[in-house]
Structure 1
Amino acid sequence: MRSVLSTLLSAAIAAQAVLASPIRARSPYSVKETHYAPREWTKLNRANGESLIELQIGLKQGNFDELERHLYEVSDPEHERYGKHLSAEAVDELVKPTKESSDLVHEWLRENGVEDLSYSSAKDWIIVRLPVEFVEHLLDTEYHNYKHEDGHVVARTTRWSLPRHLHAHIDTVQPTTSFFRTAANDATWVNAPAEVPASYQKPSNASIAAVCNVTSVTPECFATLYSTKWYKPQALKKNKVGFTNYLGEIPIRPDTEIFLKKYAPASVSSAKSFKQYSIDNGPVQDGPLTYNQSTVEGISREANLDVQAISGISKLTPITSYSTGGEPPFIPDPSTPTNTNEPYLAWVNWLLTQKSIPQVISTSYGEPEQSIPRSYAERVCKQFAQVGARGTTLFFSSGDHGIGGTDKCYSNDGKNTYKFIPNFPASCPFVTSVGATMNFQPEVAVYRASRNVSGVFRDFYAGGSGFSEYFTRPKYQDKVVPAYVKSLGGLYDGLYEKKGRAYPDLAAQGLYFAYVWNLTEGVISGTSASAPLSAGIFTLVNDALLASGKSPLGFLNPWLYSKGYKGLTDITNGTSHGCNVDGFPVTKGWDPVTGFGTPNFPDLVKLSGADCGW
């Protein structure tokens, strides 16, 4: 590995000697970004300079404003262009960097001896694998190892620099200052028996009461509760739904087959037919979990939940599983045992290279917004906008710790200010964020108190809720969010950003899902469950649209906030919880706990304009 570093450094020195270092001569370095390490991370020793990292350089996009205009026009049900989604080529053309930006950045890399480059489809991202020591030279910085309180270790810096003339042409470079954990939003309580919530009331509807057990909620309950039970898909050759996997998660086919045989036998073929894609060496497999995977690693609870929640309700709609590894070819060592890549970007940039993508994709992962530098979060969010412009709905779970968890609500600005902590990507305005409910008639905002399970403290569980610190409130929220904020009467002023993008947008069941893991049936909870369940339901709405010869819903929020909300059942009980307070209250109409409420499938289909003869 030392020879690789020496070769790169020698090439850089030689190039600068021949060309008299024109970049450095005309533009000295200055700091481009500073970002503090969150409280959960502890700074250790210097990072191993020989370890390779995959550096992602985000060039300023040429015409994102125009892309955003197109996105809102094709997503607005009142606009004449509604449903006329953009092609992959059209999206790339709008966001590709200008020739000036591209030329200047390539010149800088070439003068530093960096030649082996790869690109995103629009060439707005340059990806290069380099040793840490060389990146330190390139960005005039120092990497240290940082350890998360859960033991996870990454190599990061808290500031990095660029030649001054490149500041306007490069938005972000990572991994540098981002402290991703990419945790799955599941509130699994290991070895904890399911309990009937204190607020539970027996459903008055006999059909719901007959199939809905609050301690093990099944596809038949969801289909009855959300009225999808009697719908027969008509566009299975056109319609698709997908979900993402990170952190080594793999959907297990034998487990899914057991689940579907018991709870949705008509869909059992989905266990063998769903497609798997590996991105950045993400794992895929067809057989059961091995002993090591189930006993030592304990993986695939999240992946199994996703595929089973979707297949249990989407009725044979083709499913695609994306597994993103994000592990560049570096040599692990005791000081840097884990990968240093950024998974959301790796996945979405790969997706944007595909000519055909599912009309709905669910992601059950997220993390505190402040763990990610603003510049990087903004660019990843823009990549999601590109997916929406192509006609795909992106569902993201809102999180499982309300407005910020217990004793964890402090700012990441070096001052440790007490404040609520929003989640990303749920806070991105170009995705649809999904909160969670429990019980059946009425459904209420999900909540389960903290407790000690087998000697291990488990924090409370409540659907992620809040207002972004990074993204301003989008126009589609202007009719409902200011009214909600005003109704609070000053409650929690100063603890959240009133003008930020508020979330979630809607909700669905998220407590005690029946599922199968390692050939054994159990239950699992979290907005990780609510997101794929919502994805499955809206996939059926798309089926009705496609069968009617119409376009899929695509970027959902403009439709949802203008008319689609009428197809949701309003939730009026509960609070968000977190940060050692009760949190935001659930109210009539939209609220930042359950959004507009939970799906009513027949009403959603009617509002979508699908011609189903209903």
Structure 2
Amino acid sequence: MGRFAVAFLALLAPTAVVSSPIKARTPYQVKETHHAPRGWKRVERASADQVMNIQIGLKQSNFEELERHLYEVSDPAHARYGQHLSQQEVKDLVKPSDEALDLVHEWLQDNGVAPAGYSTAKDWISVTLPVDKIESLLDTKYHTYEHADGSRVARTSKWSLPAHLHDHIDTIQPTTSFFRARAERFDHVLDAGWIPPAYTPPSNSTLNKVCNISSVTPECFQTLYGTKGYKTRAADVNKVGFTNYLGEHPIRSDTEKFLAKYHPEAVSSARDFKQFTIANGPGDGPITQEELADGTDKEANLDVQAIAGISWGTPIESYSTGGSPPFIPSQMAPDNTNEPYLVWLDYLLSQPSIPQVISTSYSDDEQTVPRSYANRVCQEFARAGARGTSILFSSGDDGVGPDGGVCVSNDGKNTTQFLPGFPSSCPYVTTIGATMKFQPEVVAYRPPFDRAGKHYGAYTSGGGFSNYFEAPKYQKQVTEAYVKSLNGTFDGLYNKKGRGYPDISAQGMYFAYFYNGTEGTISGTSASCPLTGGIISLLNDARIASGMPPMGFLNPWIYSVGRKGVNDITSGSAHGCDTAGFPAQKGWDPVTGFGTPIFPELVKLAGASFS
């Protein structure tokens, strides 16, 4: 476990601090202001003795150089393609300067605060303090904010630093963040047998025999995407991973039942996959009654079953991460809503060997995360990419945003706008959308139903354009072409120059899976993301077996070469925000990306062989 995560777990008491006025060599100036997003309201002043662990993100000394390396080793047209960096090389590029460390230590010491822990590169410092001491340190005031669902957090709308530290500290959290990570899955309580309008079974007799739209199985995926018959050859080197948050962990007995029915030769995967617990995350064991009552572990089960069903032979690693940082409940904030990715990333990047593909099926609205913090977390994903790991995220299940008049800005003006997601909007990850039907595939969409006076929300594959990140060079041409094709439709509702997502897609409707010993179906980009992760792991297997390095950060390859090995999706749209949302069309679009994988073609384009 990384030293940062270990330090987090060990901290259950406040860091010592003296009761004295703010001390600083230069005057305090506001560093960041961020309004509370939709669904939150300020209630009252936060309890002065509530203990919080804050994370101080120091400026990384040479991230621009790391980014240069990332793009060079990920660009198939570059001479360095595939020459991924070592763990130490990455660490050396992101560690803060001695000046930054010295100045931040001086500031903390002058205010009687001792660091409680460091990230592996020392670019994050954690300290644990009661709210009144944090307020003094950051010249701010915390309030209790309540969400529409009743949960509460202590946050502030702005915070300050001494002027001389502004260039050395990128972000400090939790201050202005309201992140509420959610699993991008859609449970089928009713209408599990709903069939999309105008659905016709595949005309291809092979597909027709194995693909049932009301319960889509691994054999269907293998046939549809062309992985059937592929035999893994690099299991001694190649690995595929997935992450779990919010108390989730996969249940081995359910995975065993799933594989016994749908992929018997892979049953051992249910017993053999490695389960890592981080920051007091849930352990490896059977489902508990409390988890069952809350529906916990559905996402984790879906993830491992989707991967194991397609990538048999490749070792699987599961990461279950607890709250980041460790949560100390109080009467005013009984629930932990801190963003969970950072502690997992520090653990991952502290390991000498990491999976070549990692799938994550969690996200939230981009506006819940302050821009400075989103930038830093995104940079951590770049570190994994530079080491040769493909980081995959689901694109979301609300199209361009939820219906119901909630699509508004959080700049204090409540301007109507689409709601991009995060981390799916990060340019250093590969974001996966969802499709349904088989011949042809179309955008995954299920409208809401009203039965017996009950309303069930719509599910639509998510997509859009970031408000934080500009379109990177690798995709700028296609995003500009798409925006031009809209001819002004949706003007003012999205950032025309933003990073567009998703990048590619896969099936995401009515996955067959097991939960609590019972078979059912489940949908979402939570399904399409791990399925794609399993397919990319097979692509890595083919490359490694052919004497080549793994794919690593996928996007520069996808946008230049890989786009030729996909099924283009041209029907459907990203319904949401009470609109039809962005339409799918020929080529790239912000609802299915370039389309769904044709595995044999991708293998050829990657320079490897199928067998």
Query: How do residues 207-222 of structure 1 correspond to structure 2 at under 5 angstroms?
Result: 207-222=206-221
C-alpha displacement of 1:456: 4.1
- Cross-structure match for 1:137: 136
User: What is the identity, as a one-letter code, of the residue corresponding to 1:8?
Assistant: A
Instruction: Indicate if the aligned counterparts of 1:190 and 1:453 stay in contact, CA closer than 8 A.
Output: no
Query: How much does 1:90 deviate?
Result: 0.2
Counterpart contact for 2:104–2:165, Cα < 8 Å: yes
1:514 has 2:512 as partner? yes
- Alignment match, 1:475: 473
Cα shift at 1:50: 2.4
Supply the distance in 2 between the matched residues of 1:102 and 1:402 (Cα, whole angstroms).
43
| Within-5 A mapping of 1:219-368 | 219-286=218-285, 288-295=286-293, 297-326=294-323, 328=325, 331-368=328-365
SS at match of 2:276: strand
- Whether contact under 8 Å (1:53, 1:340) holds in the other structure is no
- Label 1:577 to 1:330 Cα distance change in 2 as closer, same or farther (>3 A): closer
Change (3 A) 1:383 1:100: same
Partner of 2:59: 60
> What secondary structure is seen at the aligned counterpart in 2 of 1:313?
coil
Q: Under a length normalisation based on structure 2, what TM-score does the superposition of the two structures give?
A: 0.96
Report the counterpart of residue 407 of structure 2 in structure 1: 409
Change (3 A) 1:330 1:385: closer
TM-score, with structure 1 as normaliser: 0.95
What residue in structure 1 maps to residue 392 of structure 2? Answer: 395
Match of 1:9 among 1, 10, 17: 17
Give the equivalent residue in structure 2 for 1:523.
521
Q: Secondary structure at the match of 2:283?
A: coil
The residue that corresponds to 1:117 in the other structure is: 116
CA contact (8 A) 1:192 1:453 kept: no
- Gaps in structure 1 of 5+ consecutive residues: none
CA shift for structure 1 position 119: 1.2
1:138, distance to aligned residue in structure 2 (A):
1.1
1:279-315 superposed Cα distances (whole Å, 9 cap, x missing partner): 11111122x21222202x2200111000110011011
Letter in 2 for 1:115: A
Distance of 1:96 and 1:327 partners within structure 2: 21
Cα shift readout 1:329-383 (whole Å, capped 9, x = no counterpart): 5542332111253201111122111111000000001111011100000110001
Name the SS for the 1:475 alignment partner. coil
Q: Distance in 2 between matches of 1:364 and 1:261?
A: 25
Shift of 1:612: 4.1
Asked whether the 8 Å contact 1:9–1:113 carries over to 2, the reply is: yes
Amino acid at match of 1:380: V
**How many Å apart are 1:136 and its aligned residue?**
1.4
**Counterpart in the other structure of 1:75:** 74
Residues 60 and 346 of structure 1, relative CA distance in 2, 3 Å threshold: same
Structure 2 CA distance, aligned partners of 1:441 and 1:340? 42
2:196, 2:173 → 1: CA distance? 44
Look up the match of 2:530: 532
Letter in 1 for 2:577: C
Q: Tell me, in whole angstroms, the C-alpha distance in 1 between the residues paired with 2:253 and 2:328.
A: 34
CA distance in 1, matches of 2:86, 2:330: 44
Amino acid corresponding to residue 97 of structure 1 in structure 2: P
Question: Is contact 1:370-1:412 (8 Å) kept?
Answer: yes
Q: 1:260: how far off?
A: 0.7
Q: Distance in 2 between matches of 1:445 and 1:284?
A: 36
Other-structure match for 1:86: 85
Q: Which amino acid aligns with 1:220?
A: E
For residues 610 and 79 of structure 1, the distance between their equivalents in structure 2, rounded to whole angstroms, comes to 18
**Seq. identity, %:** 61
- 2:177 aligned with 1:178: yes
- Any idea what SS the aligned residue of 1:534 has? helix
Take 1:456 and 1:374, find their aligned partners in 2: how far apart are those partners?
37
Q: Which SS does the other structure have where 1:196 is aligned?
A: coil
Distance 2:241 2:496 in 1: 33
The separation in 1 between residues aligned to 2:298 and 2:380, in whole angstroms, is 28
Q: Structure 1: how far apart are the matches of 2:586 and 2:189?
A: 35
Contact 2:34 2:176 in 1 (8 A): yes
What displacement does 1:116 show?
3.7
2:477 partner letter: K
Cα offset for 1:156?
Answer: 1.1
Question: C-alpha offsets along residues 137-167 of structure 1, whole Å, 9 cap, x if unaligned?
Answer: 2111122222222232221111111111111
User: Using a 3 Å threshold, how does the CA distance of structure 1 residues 148 and 231 change in structure 2: closer, same or farther?
Assistant: same
Change (3 A) 1:340 1:54: farther
| Partner of residue 447, structure 1 | 445
Does the Cα contact within 8 Å between 1:95 and 1:122 map onto a contact in 2? yes
Q: Are the equivalent residues in 2 in contact too, given 1:53–1:341 (CA < 8 A)?
A: no
Q: Give unpaired runs (5+ residues) of structure 2.
A: 1-11
Instruction: Give the aligned partner of residue 575 of structure 1.
Output: 573
Q: Residue 163 of structure 1 corresponds to which residue in structure 2?
A: 162
How has the CA–CA distance of structure 1 residues 360 and 413 changed in structure 2, closer, same or farther, with 3 Å as cutoff? same
Query: Could you say if the C-alpha distance between residues 454 and 380 of structure 1 is closer, same or farther in structure 2, counting changes exceeding 3 Å?
Result: farther
Q: Aligned AA for 2:457?
A: D
The two structures, once aligned, show a CA RMSD in angstroms of 1.6
Partner residue in 2 for 1:601: 599
Matched, 1:194 2:222: no
Report the secondary structure of 1:561's partner residue: helix
Is the partner of 1:236 in helix, strand or coil?
coil
SS in structure 1 at match of 2:558: helix
Distance 1:290 1:330, change over 3 A: closer
Which one-letter code corresponds to 1:339 in the other structure? Answer: N
Residue 328 of structure 1, CA deviation: 4.7
Q: Which residue of 1 aligns with 2:99?
A: 100
Partner of 2:43: 44
Find the aligned partners of 1:348 and 1:329 in 2 and give their Cα distance: 15
Letter of the 1:32 counterpart: K
SS across alignment from 1:479: helix
Of 526, 541, 555 in structure 1, the residue corresponding to residue 539 of structure 2 is: 541
